[in-house]
Amino acid sequence: MTLATMSIPSEDQRFGLARRVTLPRPLPLDGGGVLTPVEIGYETYGTLNADGSNAILITHALTGDQHVASVHPITGKPGWWTRMVGPGRPIDPARHFIVCANVIGSCMGSSGPATIDPATGTPWAMRFPVITLRDMVRAQAMLLDHLGVGTLQAVIGGSMGGMQVLEWAATFPDRVRSVVVIASAARHSAQNIAFHEVGRQAIMADPNWQGGCYYGTGDTPAAGLAVARMAAHITYLSEAGLTEKFGRRLQARDAKSFGFDADFQVESYLRHQGISFVERFDANSYLYITRAMDYFDLAEEHGGRLANAFQGTRTRFCVVSFDTDWLYPTAESRMIVHALNAAGAAVSFVELSSPFGHDAFLLDVPELNRVVDGFIRADES
């Protein structure tokens, strides 16, 4: 990957690809108690400038990870946001010091249910504490302390990444100059929670889940996790997108089988999505992170009024939604924008047109890059 060679070689072991650190302090949690030790898997790209003003944090979505612009170690695929992060992109290692960390609760190097609890020497499994998005963000702040980053030029993320961005702005307003919230929401709706519950029940209904203690047994709840992914994947696409891509076309056959094979292309596609997902993701992590998202309600954390979360903020906000996103529809972004207006914050908002549904933020939408680039550069003159 060219990015690795682009970044200036550093003796400092804190910087670079595929980094991992055990943070020096325990992490107090919203749910009570502390998480210790706190391990964080992360990557950095580019170089922190002398006055430390060019640091940008990328926050990832539910099943994302720190490999924002580097090859994924398991799938061998390019980073998940190379359209946005990379040479000549809006977030460019030639200009920015870019940090992306695996969220706690996940399974790509940060503390989660699959990591070892030093108290027992076995994986945490369901003894891992239930965490919140704010806990994730506080862990990221501790990572930035470790990296010597004080104030961030920007925090940028889509979907659950956008929720972390909002938590950043609300929790550390003096530590972030601008934020970009893409295809996201300030709370999980009943419908959002409902879809997640389907996924969790699919995992827990798999006999191989074994109450979460499947590590080392040779069995994993792969079937349950695959079904969870299939259900969720539908919510990431638009109906028009599915129709255009698959319609009612049959998969490698001329006629219906009058059986329960994947007759339709869309079935085959979803099964593939489910199967390939379980190779790279831990089922218990899926439970914990979806729970954290369902618990997310930024207004609730601030006396029931969303504007309170941003009162007196000097952070600049950019909010972007997509017209075909029905998972976090434009109305959710508007709620954020109205609250920011009420708080007197500097906010930009646009609903972009895309056929791709929620996933649009990861796909080729040139207008998104133009908006983010202009918004980021306004801070650099």
Partner 1 sequence: MSDLRPDLAIIAGHVPRGAKVLDVGCGDGELMAELRRSAQVDARGIELDARNVSAAVARGLSVVQGDADTDLANYPDHAFDYAILSQTLQTARAPDRVLDELLRIGRRAFVSFPNFAYWRVRLSLLWRGRMPVTAALPVSWYETENIHQLTVDDFRAFVAERGIGVEQAWFLNGDRHTSAAAANFRAEHAVFLLRR
SS (H, E, C) 69-82: CCCCCCCCCCCCCC
- The torsion angle over the Cα atoms of residues 339, 361, 228 and 189, rounded to 10 degrees, is 10
Nearest residue (CB) to partner 1, 103 versus 183: 183
Nearer to partner 1, 53 or 348 (CB): 348
DSSP, collapsed to helix, strand or coil, labels residue 141 as helix
Which of 106, 159, 238, 321 is an active site residue?
159
Q: Give the one residue of 10, 261, 346, 364 binding partner 1; rule: CB under 8 A.
A: 346
Least Å distance between CB 298 and partner 1?
16
Peptide bond before residue 173 is cis, with ω within 30 degrees of 0: no
Distance from C-alpha of 381 to C-alpha of 374, rounded to nearest angstrom = 11
In Å, the largest CA–CA distance within the chain is 67
To the nearest whole angstrom, how small is the minimum distance from the Cβ of residue 183 to partner 1? Answer: 15
Query: Least separation, in Å, of the C-beta of 86 and partner 1?
Result: 19
Nearer CB in complex with partner 1: 228/339: 339
User: Measuring CA to CA, how many Å separate 116 from each of 58, 113, 122, 307?
Assistant: 26, 8, 5, 40
Angle between helix 133-147 and 160-171 (nearest 10): 70
Q: Is 282 one of the annotated active-site residues of the chain?
A: no
Q: Is-catalytic flag, 325?
A: yes
Q: First CA to last CA across the chain, in angstroms?
A: 30
Q: Phi and psi for 181 in degrees, rounded to 5?
A: -115, 115
* Nearer of residues 9 and 366 to partner 1, judged by Cβ: 366
- Determine the length of the chain: 381
Question: Of 197 and 367, which has the nearer Cβ to partner 1?
Answer: 367
What part of residues 264-323 is at the interface with partner 1 (CB under 8 A)? 316, 318
Do residues 85 and 69 make contact, with C-beta atoms less than 8 angstroms apart? yes
Q: Active-site residue 196, yes or no?
A: no
**Residue 192 Cβ, how far from partner 1 at the closest point, in Å?**
23
Does the protein bind partner 1 through residue 339 (CB under 8 A)? yes
By CB under 8 A, tell whether 377 contacts partner 1: yes
Which residues participate in catalysis according to the annotation? 159, 325, 358
Binding site for partner 1 (CB under 8 A): 316, 318, 334, 337-339, 341-342, 344, 346-353, 367, 370-371, 373-375, 377-378, 381
